[in-house]
Amino acid sequence: MTTQTDLETSRDGWFDRQALADVIPLAIPAIPFGFVVGLAVTESAMPQWIAWLTAPLVFAGAAQLAMITLAGTATLWAVVTAVLVINTRHLMYSAALAPTFRDQPRWMRWFGPFLLVDQTFALAALQTRRDPAAFRRYFLTVAITLYAVWNIAVPMGMLVGPVIPDSWRLDFAPPVMFAGLTLFAIKRVPAAVAAIVGGLVSLATVDLRDRLGIVVGALTGVAAGALADWIIQERERRADRPSTEDVRK
């Protein structure tokens, strides 16, 4: 017997209307961020065509921005280390979605993780109870939409960058934009602790060679956030644990 859901699935094909409605509010903040990355490309020591290729090939805003801005001012290993540290969160994303991806075809298991960014994970993680075909359609609609938006926003920033007068150059735009997006995304105390500690440590270690302050700040922030999360969980366990007097009663 054909259900209404089956009819909608066959009519939509690979496209998921709900996924598009869900991703639009998350894609809009990526536009100014991609624009700033495009501006950074025009000022990078990296050849512009190589810097541009980081958008379709790397597809990770924070890591891409670090790679572009560190080029020419840090050693290769420092750039690679910074990018790897920034992208360590993707290991947790992959682990969380691994059970759902086991039921996907081989091409999806290889192609899907390349498109896994913060926004995609945030939405896809709420859809893991869908059947494999429906989840795949939702995931690809979200991921491809974000990929398209990003790869339009970055070249737009590159086009406008050369015509902006030097007096208008926003040297602090990338870090300010990234900080704004980070603060916008903070909804839990551990995340706030990680952001504050990481930012303060990065500022304190800004004079380290090869921009190691970024790596030190990131690692310290992650450790501080994990510690804050552990303390909160311990307090919640103690609050839920019955007191000795309650047990006696």
Percentage of the chain with pLDDT > 70?
73
Residue ranges of domains in the chain:
13-172, 186-241
User: How sure is the predictor about 152, in pLDDT bands with cuts at 50, 70 and 90?
Assistant: very high
Q: What is the pLDDT of residues 37-96, one digit of tens each?
A: 888 888 888 888 888 888 888 888 878 888 888 887 777 888 888 888 888 888 888 888
User: How sure is the predictor about 108, in pLDDT bands with cuts at 50, 70 and 90?
Assistant: very high
Tell me the pLDDT of the chain averaged across its residues. 77
Helical H runs in the chain?
A: 4-12, 17-27, 30-43, 48-58, 61-70, 76-86, 89-101, 106-111, 118-124, 132-160, 173-185, 189-204, 212-240, 244-248
